[in-house]
Chains A and B, each alone.
Chain A
């Protein structure tokens, strides 16, 4: 059972335009959500996160939106740059329970064309 779903395996965007990456989850216990960026042959790098008590978090060009009723979150990158080309993973975790294990989606490969 896939608790975190990224339904778009890939996305191609023109430089300067907005990139929107989507993520859906099914587990109501998840209350903290993260986006990681991954380049080939490297480990994931933390990008931005959001707690379930918020519906938006912004950090520079990156904004994450959370719709709890729809169990949906999205990452907006604007303006997109060629260096943003990478695989983006959505992850979720329940902060209660003590484990802090992350549940990842399968990732979306973003290509930003110059």
Chain B
């Protein structure tokens, strides 16, 4: 019963390159969340996806960042033309399908991808 998996665990990119971060949710989970943690900061929400749908992207920068959760395969967070300020730990979390409205479904976090932009 594997937990949330993220790869790569560490990613080094030069300025201007693209970064692709992958997240495989826990088995049976249909909701995926991406959070970013800058140094000395808490985690900040970026985007919430269900299969083939973006539900809330209010925390996602308007440019260069995109996310998808296709019908098959992992969720992908894509950062184009990376800059030094993108260096951070990116965490993915997943939760099961909500059975009851207004009841919070626990989010299970992956180990994170540490992105370093040189």
A contact residues vs B (CB 8 Å cutoff): 4, 6, 32, 36, 41-46, 49, 89, 91, 93, 95-96, 98-107
Contact = CB atoms under 8 A, between A and B. Distances in A.
B33 interface: yes
Interface in B25-59: 31, 33, 35, 40-45, 48, 55-56, 58-59
A100 B48 contact: yes
Contact of B4 (A43, A89, A98, A106): A43
A100 B31 CA distance: 10
Interface of B: 4, 31, 33, 35, 40-45, 48, 55-56, 58-59, 91, 93, 95, 98, 102-112
Given A43-B91, A98-B55, A100-B95, A89 B43 contact: yes
A25 B110 CA distance: 26
A102 B93 CA distance: 11
Nearest to B102: A95
A106 B102 contact: no
Contact of A43 (B48, B106, B110): B110
A43 B112 contact: yes
Contacts, number: 67
A101 B104 contact: no
Given A95-B103, A101-B56, 7 more contacts: A41-B111, A43-B112, A45-B109, A96-B102, A98-B55, A100-B98, A106-B40
Nearest to A45: B109
A41 B58 CA distance: 27
| Interface SS of A by simple majority | loop
Nearest to B42: A104
A46 B45 contact: no
Contacts of A107: 42
With a 10 A CB-CB cut-off, give which of B33, B93, B107 has the most chain A CB atoms. Answer: B107
B12 to A, nearest CB: 16
The 7 nearest A-B residue pairs measured at CB: A43-B109, A104-B42, A101-B45, A99-B56, A106-B42, A104-B43, A32-B104
B45 A103 contact: yes
A100 B97 CA distance: 12
